[in-house]
C-alpha cells in the first residue's frame, strides 16, 4: 500500500508519479494471483489510512493516557533516585 500525492512531473520527459510518498506499508504477499477482492481491499485500506490521519486520531494519540512507556524491567534502565537517595521502585507490570 503506497499513499501520496498523484502529480504530473513536467521537469523531465513528463510522467505521473506519487510525490511525496506519505505512507508505504506491506499488506500482503504476491502468490501469482489475487486471492481477495481487490476493490474491497483497496476500500478497506484507504478507509483505514484516512481514519489514521484524522485530527481526532492525532488528538487522541497526544493524550497522556495514550502515550507509550517502556517498563524498566524490560528496557534495563535504572529508575531515578528519590531526593532521599533511595531508588524508586518501578511500577508493577500489568
Instruction: Kindly report the pTM of this predicted structure.
Output: 0.49
Q: Structural domain of residue 45, as residue ranges? A: 2-63
13 Cα distance to chain centroid? 35
Q: Does any domain span residue 82?
A: no
Integer-rounded Cα Rg, in Å, for the chain is 23
Task: Give pLDDT tens digits for 34-63.
Answer: 777 888 988 998 899 899 889 999 999 999
Average pLDDT score, the chain: 80
Q: Does any domain span residue 68?
A: no
Give the Cα separation of 7 and 1 in Å (integer): 17
**How many domains, in total, are found in the chain?**
1
Local structure of 3: helix, strand or coil: strand
Q: Does any domain span residue 77?
A: no
Q: Pick the closest to residue 46 from 62, 66, 22 (CA basis).
A: 22
Q: Does any domain span residue 94?
A: no
Hey, what's the cell of 43?
476500500
Amino acid at each position: 500500500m503506497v499513499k501520496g500525492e498523484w502529480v504530473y512531473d513536467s521537469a523531465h520527459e513528463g510522467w505521473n508519479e506519487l510525490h511525496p510518498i506519505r505512507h508505504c506499508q506491506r499488506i500482503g504477499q504476491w502468490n501469482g494471483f489475487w486471492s481477495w477482492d481487490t476493490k474491497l481491499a483497496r476500500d478497506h485500506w484507504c478507509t483505514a489510512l484516512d481514519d489514521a490521519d484524522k485530527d481526532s486520531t492525532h488528538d487522541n494519540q497526544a493524550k497522556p493516557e495514550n502515550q507509550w512507556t517502556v517498563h524498566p524491567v524490560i528496557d534495563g534502565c535504572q529508575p531515578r533516585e528519590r531526593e532521599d537517595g533511595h531508588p524508586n521502585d518501578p511500577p508493577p507490570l500489568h
